[in-house]
Structure 1
Amino acid sequence: MPSILTVLLCLELYLSQRVNAQKRTPSKPVIWAKPDVMIPKGMPVVIWCQGTHKTVEYQLHFEGQLSASERPKTPGMMNKVKFPIPAMTSSTAGQYRCFYRSGELWSEPSDPLDLVVTGMYDIPTLSVHPGPEVISGENVTFCCHLETATTTFFLLKEGRSSRPWRRYGKVQAKFPMGPVTTAHRGTYRCFGSYNNHVWSFPSEPVKLLVTDVGDPSLVPTEHISSPDSWDPYLLTTEMQFQEDPALRNYAIQNLLRIGLAFLVLVALVWLLAEDWLHRKRTQEGTSRASSLECRRRFRTQRSLDK
């Protein structure tokens, strides 16, 4: 009995600590950029940060340093704020994170948001070999060339779900693909990069046309895996971030509380059952002892009578 009670008390303590930890550290906020994470030089961009409905203050950090702070105009109603950047430049390109304060507690940092400025310096040229019109199953190679000294190139297929490829080269880089399928159809551009967040002007678009020959062995894939592939800039929309992070925390806390209450209920039922069984055994033992005593006295009385 003591060992079971000890286990239940330990579980209760653990669950209480989990609930208290949820209360001590608010969940991390969500951060995103509109209209995109790749912004031409001089164009505006807005960074959004979303916390919980109890948020009273937000902070935006750029490259690890405090950049701006903002308070919701209607606390308790709005759970997100915006940090506008009027004109994108190389000095505003980089990695951003945001925090929020609920009461006296600051949240964990958001996931990193990498903003890229494009339209810097020269324009690269992009070509595709053996040509822009191929049949499914062939191998193609995109070649990006830029005279300005750079060693990093990115190839991007237009589309909201696109991820840039990264390759290295002195004045040019090659991006092999294949065997291609109809999923590779689309318009491609390339960039030269002066660092991960400062890119050149985009190249002129190159449209790849892939004719389907009906080979069932060719499974359409958006990209061929490559050790040099790189996708920190997943293009997303604001609608993907409308879920309040607090709801998830409340659900977890409620589950923990329900679990704790269930364990306490089980412990009480077990204790009541043990007490009932103990009383029953005691009563049975008392009755048995009384019966034996009566028999002993009866036998003694009969012996005396004889």
Structure 2
Amino acid sequence: MTPILTVLICLGLSLGPRTHVQAGILPKPMLWAEPDRVITQGSPVTLRCQGNLEAREYHLYRERKPASWITLIRPELVKKGQFPIPSITWEHAGQYRCQYYSRSWWSEPSEPLELVVTGAYSKPTLSALPSPVVASGWNVTLLCDSQLAFGGFILCKEREDEHSQCLNFQPHTRWSSRAVFSVGPVSPSRRWSYRCYGYDSSFPYLWSLPSDLLELLVSGETLSPSQNQTDSKTGQHPQDYTVENLIRMGVAGLVLVVLGILLFEAQHSQRSPQDAAGR
């Protein structure tokens, strides 16, 4: 092996690990929105990016479409990872990521944050089937109904301690005016409050006005998970047994009434000849 080749191999071994460290040593930052990522049109919101303690600068960008509003943020706020929006509009909606600069390198991008603006369409109606009063341990069906046809619907559970948890429903057909969600099993130890939205699938970050708040009332009756499912032998739901019991009680009551009438007629027929003989 020639001396020049030996030097090149040693140089490559020494530079290889260093190049790898420089490319991916900085972990990805955290990106979130305050007060929430789902914001009503005209409300304030701040996007926050947090890296390591040595972060010197932050960079926020929107995927697929540049966001000109970011360039208007004051430099001192950008260095802190703060990107405020005093009054949100349709132009701010989209999917964002951020990075931070430290030790002469930029970090990996953060996880995506979907910033949603509500109020683009009229609000739908949210209802519980068959009733908002639900026994503990049961599942419940929620129906989001709208006068407009949408490409998708969102059901969000409102929580006091954390951000909303949302479910996405996309109909089999391209457009639909209603969506059906199944939630549960419910328990009385937590609050079960929901709103739903509709959106155009071409603009997934622009939602309708929220529906009125629907709060489920959980009764104290507790059912096991097996009781909450359809009976594997008979194919019946526990609600079916309740209906059957009511029908049986009604039939039994009717039979008692008929027997009472027959007994009364029998006694009356026996008294009639006795009355005639007495006369």
Instruction: Deviation per CA, 1:73-96: give whole Å up to 9, x if none.
Output: 49xxx9732111222122211101
2:45 counterpart of 1:45: yes
Label 1:162 to 1:182 Cα distance change in 2 as closer, same or farther (>3 A). farther
Task: Give me the whole-angstrom Cα distance separating, in 2, the residues matched to 1:198 and 1:109.
Answer: 24
Structure 2 unaligned spans of 5+:
1-12, 229-279
2:24 counterpart of 1:22: no
Instruction: Deviation per CA, 1:88-126: give whole Å up to 9, x if none.
Output: 122211101112222542222111111011122201111
Asked if structure 1 preserves the Cα contact closer than 8 Å seen for 2:153 and 2:170, the reply is yes
Task: Give me the whole-angstrom Cα distance separating, in 2, the residues matched to 1:60 and 1:139.
Answer: 41
Paired residue for 1:209?
Answer: 217
Task: Give me the whole-angstrom Cα distance separating, in 2, the residues matched to 1:84 and 1:219.
Answer: 50
Instruction: Deviation per CA, 1:247-303: give whole Å up to 9, x if none.
Output: xxxxxxxxxxxxxxxxxxxxxxxxxxxxxxxxxxxxxxxxxxxxxxxxxxxxxxxxx
Given residue 207 of structure 2, which amino acid in structure 1 is its aligned partner?
A: W
2:172 counterpart of 1:166: no
What percent identity do the matched residue pairs reach? 41
Paired residue for 1:142?
Answer: 142
TM-score where L is the length of structure 1: 0.58
Cα distance, 1:199 vs structure 2: 0.7
Cα distance, 1:185 vs structure 2: 4.5
Question: Pairwise mapping of residues 79-158 of structure 1 onto structure 2 (< 5 A)?
Answer: 80-158=80-158
Structure 1 unaligned spans of 5+:
1-12, 221-306
Tell me the secondary structure at the aligned position of residue 21 of structure 2.
Answer: helix
Paired residue for 1:284?
Answer: none
Task: Give me the whole-angstrom Cα distance separating, in 1, the residues matched to 2:38 and 2:132.
Answer: 26
Cα distance, 1:190 vs structure 2: 0.9
Task: Give me the whole-angstrom Cα distance separating, in 1, the residues matched to 2:227 and 2:102.
Answer: 49
Tell me the secondary structure at the aligned position of residue 81 of structure 2.
Answer: strand
Tell me the secondary structure at the aligned position of residue 119 of structure 2.
Answer: strand
Aligned length, in residue pairs? 205
Label 1:112 to 1:138 Cα distance change in 2 as closer, same or farther (>3 A). closer
Question: Pairwise mapping of residues 244-263 of structure 1 onto structure 2 (< 5 A)?
Answer: none
Task: Kindly report the root-mean-square deviation, in angstroms, between the aligned alpha carbons of the 2 structures.
Answer: 3.2
Cα distance, 1:17 vs structure 2: 5.4
Task: Give me the whole-angstrom Cα distance separating, in 1, the residues matched to 2:82 and 2:150.
Answer: 34
Task: Give me the whole-angstrom Cα distance separating, in 2, the residues matched to 1:116 and 1:155.
Answer: 14
Asked if structure 2 preserves the Cα contact closer than 8 Å seen for 1:52 and 1:79, the reply is no
Task: Give me the whole-angstrom Cα distance separating, in 2, the residues matched to 1:119 and 1:210.
Answer: 31
Asked if structure 2 preserves the Cα contact closer than 8 Å seen for 1:137 and 1:218, the reply is no
| Structure 1, 149-158 or 64-73: larger mean CA deviation | 64-73
Tell me the secondary structure at the aligned position of residue 100 of structure 1.
Answer: strand
Asked if structure 1 preserves the Cα contact closer than 8 Å seen for 2:127 and 2:143, the reply is yes
Instruction: Deviation per CA, 1:170-193: give whole Å up to 9, x if none.
Output: 101111235544367522111111
Asked if structure 2 preserves the Cα contact closer than 8 Å seen for 1:57 and 1:71, the reply is no
Paired residue for 1:187?
Answer: 193
The structure with the larger Rg is 1
Given residue 217 of structure 2, which amino acid in structure 1 is its aligned partner?
A: L
Given residue 152 of structure 1, which amino acid in structure 2 is its aligned partner?
A: G
Task: Give me the whole-angstrom Cα distance separating, in 1, the residues matched to 2:187 and 2:136.
Answer: 5
Task: Give me the whole-angstrom Cα distance separating, in 2, the residues matched to 1:185 and 1:53.
Answer: 37
Label 1:175 to 1:56 Cα distance change in 2 as closer, same or farther (>3 A). same
Instruction: Deviation per CA, 1:226-256: give whole Å up to 9, x if none.
Output: xxxxxxxxxxxxxxxxxxxxxxxxxxxxxxx
